[in-house]
Structure formats: C-alpha cells, structure tokens
Amino acid sequence: MSDKRSDAITRGFERTPHRALLKSTGVPEGQMDRPFIGIASSFTDLIPGHTGMRDLERFIEKGVHSGGGYSFIFGIPGVCDGIAMGHKGMHYSLPTRELIADMVESIAEAHRLDGLVLLTNCDKITPGMLMAAARLDIPAIVVTAGPSMTGTGREGRRFSFVTDTFEAMAQYKAGVIDDQQLKMCEDHACPTAGSCQGLFTANTMAILTETLGMSLPQCGTALAVSSLKRRIAFASGEKIVDLVRDGITPRQILTRAAFENAIRVDLALGGSSNTVLHLLAIAHEAGVELPLELFDELGRTTPQLASMNPGGQHFMEDLDAAGGVPGVLHQLGDKVRDNPTLFGLGVRQIADSVASVDEEVIRPLDNPVRAEGGLAILHGNLAPKGAVVKQSGVSEQMMTFEGTARCFDSEEAAMDALMGGRIKPGDVVVIRYEGPRGGPGMREMLAPTATLMGLGLGDSVALITDGRFSGGTRGPCIGHISPEAAEGGPIALVEDGDRIRLDIPNRSLSLQVADEVLQQRRAAWSMPEPKIRSGWLARYAKVVTSAHTGAICE
C-alpha cells in the first residue's frame, strides 16, 4: 500500500530511528510495509465483562495478520459500574468515557496507526471508543465482547445481576428473603464472563454499535462465552485491513440516518437511558446534529417490541437466539432508514435478509409490548432543558403521579433515608447535586432505585435526579434533569413538602410552586462547596457540560 499513515514512521532514511524502535518490539523487516493496526483492548481482571478479552485479542490478531496487516495491542482502562456503585468510585465512571476517547486518540495519532480494532464491552468503554473513532475518522471497527449467560437455579429459575443482587439486598432488608436465599442470589447472579445479562447500558451500547454499522452482524448480542464471538473477532481483524485499503472511515458510516436507526432500535427494545448521553456525545464527535428532542419524536412513532430484563422477562441470550439486531431491524420494517455499514451491506439489506424472527421475543409492529418506545423525554419547570425516563420500566399506574418532595443533596443521604424506612408511599425522592458538574461525574443511582423496588415502593414512590441511572433501573425514576442543581437549575430550589407532578404520557415534570416563590428561593440560593476539590474530577467539573448535551467536555 502507498500513502499510509504509518509511512510517517516506516519510510525513508529519516525514519531509521523509528524503524529501529519498531524492530526492537519484534516487527520483522518484511512487515514494515503492511498496514499497522492498533488493537485497543480494555482487558482487565477487574471487570467481569472484560476478563475474557485475552482470548478475543488472539483471534483479532490472527484476523489482522490473515488479512495482510500487522497488529499492535495497547491497553485502555475501564470501570465496572456494578463494583463502583454506591460509593466514591461511581464519581469516576462517566468521566472515564472522556479519558478513553482521549487515550485512543493519543495512541493512534502518536504512533500513526493506519486502522483500529476497538475491543470493548461495558458501560463507558464502548461509547468512549466510538467517540474516539468518530473524532479520529480513521478506519476502525468495534468488537464488543458480549453478554454473560444467565445463572440457573431450581425449577428453571434464571438469575441476573441487578434483580438478584441490588434488589435482593433490599428484599433481605425488608425480610422478604432470608440469608440462604440472599447467598444463592450472590452465587448465581454472574455465572460467566461477560456483560450483565439484561438490557443494561453495556448491552444496549453493544446493540447500538451494531445498529450504527460499526461492528459486524450479531456482534452486539453474541454471548461472551460463544465460539461465534471468537469468529466475529477473527473476521473483524480481517475486515479492518480491508477498510484501510478501501479508505472506509467512521464518519462515512456515522450519519444522521445511522443515529436515527440506533435510537429506534433502542426505543424498540426498551434500552438503557444512558444511551441518550452516549449517542449525543458520539454524534457530537462525528459532527452530526442530534437534538435531545429527537429521542422523543422518534419514541412517539416507534413501538416497544421486546420485553427485556430488567423491566421485562427476556435476557440477552433470548434476544440473540430470536434474531438479534437484524431481527429487530426486520421487525421495524420501513421505520428503518437505509445507511451503509462497515462490512458493505446496507442496513435495509440486513433487515430484508432475515428469514425468520422469534416473535415471542421480538414482536411485530402490529402487536407491540407498548405503543411507544422505551424512553421518553420530559420537560417542565423542573426540567426546562429536559429529563429522561425509561418508561418501559414504569408500571401503568405510575405513568402519572403527584407526590411530596423529600430532598437529598447526595445519593448517600437518600440511601440512608430509604434503608432507615423514612420514605413513605406518596413521596417523591429528589436527589440533586449529582449531575455532571455537581457530582462531579453524574453517578448512577442504581442502589436507590433498586432499593425502592426491593422495598415494594415502585408503585407508590417516584425518584427524580440530576444524576443518571443504571441500565438496570426500573420504576418511576427520572434522571438527567437539566439544568442540574450545580448550575442553579430549578431542581436546586425544591424544598421538602413541595408537590411534584409527573405526567409521562404528556411528557411533563413540574414543581407545583408559584413562580414568584421560586424567584425568591433563587435569590437566596448559592452554590454549595464542590464535593471534590482536587485531582482529575476537579478538572472535569470545570469543563463538563449539561446532560442534555451528552455531558461532553468542552
């Protein structure tokens, strides 16, 4: 090949020092003219979804060399949200998305790599990788490592991470289950390597990556422990060399149509609310205008076609067997816009190629789970710039609700009240100063939301926050409230005893307090001292934007 990026470190007598260093790593003389492919691997012993990546690295590497390239593996960090949940560690989770994007950019540019295979799996790692691919706009392909299998128990019961650990914790506190049952949940909830088994953020992002056309067919749903995942890894290694030779780059794939398709698939499956943040951020890097309101516009015309755990009955292994992403595209029919993918086929070709779909898992448009998509965008005097709710996880009786505000300035304070039995039916739990800037880091509120469900309050208590939720969250939980409290948003002005009204069908979230009273409160409001004053998070808090923009860093 001629005119490769890597020519800057391999060609000409001026690059003698560079070639010497490359040879020092083991690169043979005869490989210097091959495309240099970086394998950005987020392998770590710390995250169950990533512990199996050493195996996938080998298969990607084999594919790169079979395709005529030369591969270099480099490491990218990751945070396990489940392990980081409920303590200081969760402050770091969302900010790592920006670090990951910056790291991939830094290595690819500094070493003049010709192409990238992005090996990823979990919550912030996958969007961070995609942000880097869109920003760099050099040939890149994503391999998501895949979901775990469900655990098995007596009488055909299947265990999964969120409902059988976080919600079980609250059930134990309430006396619903005993020590032995709690231990059984702990031992069976995560039986294999892989991302959590339901449609949480990791798996939703893997599905949307495939929908966007940035990974090979079935990659988004193939199980981490399957031989299919190995074959996809090998094929991705081969494909990246073709992409380099053909000059196919991410921005040719990441069009407005691609993002609209991703949103529709997300809505049809009832996926994680975190995908709103991530799709906005990826689109920003790709130079695609993607307003927050588009999620709601498409949600009104995209029925929810699947009942996926945590809010429903099916798991990732069921979705994969039912037809995976191609099956969802097939069922959506004409709602899908055609768009190119990295592997050559158009999106409509993929949808049309599906021979059959298990309609018990992925329903047809004329027999949906719900008439509208899984996510809804709310506005009102509490959220002038928007808020997000995963309506697929909300019971019918809680779609409209009015309750009494109980205000907490941190997740920990809210958890103390919940576990102490101080939250009663008819309350609206308000958790603030947990947004991108105020947190800092916009922590996930899985512990409070799972505790609500575990205590049996999911049909009598709502929760609102300027933080965000795990993909495992279900119940009347509204997040991403913008502007956040740390920016002086209205959520900072709420007081105990105020009445708050939630109306999901009419997309409204309102504080039942007179405007003149709110003006008086605003005049008396002042920003609290930052929770974290040093290190990376202090720097992050100064540059991060609001949730309605995707919490990007400017």
The domain that holds 349 is classified in CATH as: 3.40.50.2300
Q: Which runs of consecutive H residues, i.e. helices, occur in 378-443?
A: 411-419
Alpha-carbon distance of 448 to 439, in angstroms, equals 16
Same domain for 181 and 97: no
Residue 431 in any domain: the answer is yes
Catalytic residue positions?
A: 470
Identify whether the C-beta of residue 471 lies closer than 8 Å to the C-beta of residue 204.
yes
Domain that holds residue 471: 376-549
Residue stretches of the chain with pLDDT short of 70:
1, 154-155, 472
Annotated binding site: 81, 123-124, 444
- Evaluate the omega torsion of the peptide bond into residue 440 and state whether it is cis, within 30 degrees of 0: yes
Looking at residue 25, what is its pLDDT?
96
Looking at residue 155, what is its pLDDT?
64
Same domain for 249 and 102: yes
Same domain for 72 and 213: yes
Same domain for 381 and 464: yes
Strands (E), 76-139: 115-120
Looking at residue 470, what is its pLDDT?
79
Annotated binding site for Mg(2+): 81, 123-124, 444
Strands (E), 276-382: 375-380
Domain count, the chain: 3
Residue 317 in any domain: the answer is yes
The last residue of a domain, from among 132, 165, 189? 189
DSSP calls for 431-466? E-S-STTTTTS--B-HHHHHHHHHTT-TTT-EEEES
Looking at residue 485, what is its pLDDT?
97
Residue 27 in any domain: the answer is no
Same domain for 330 and 345: yes
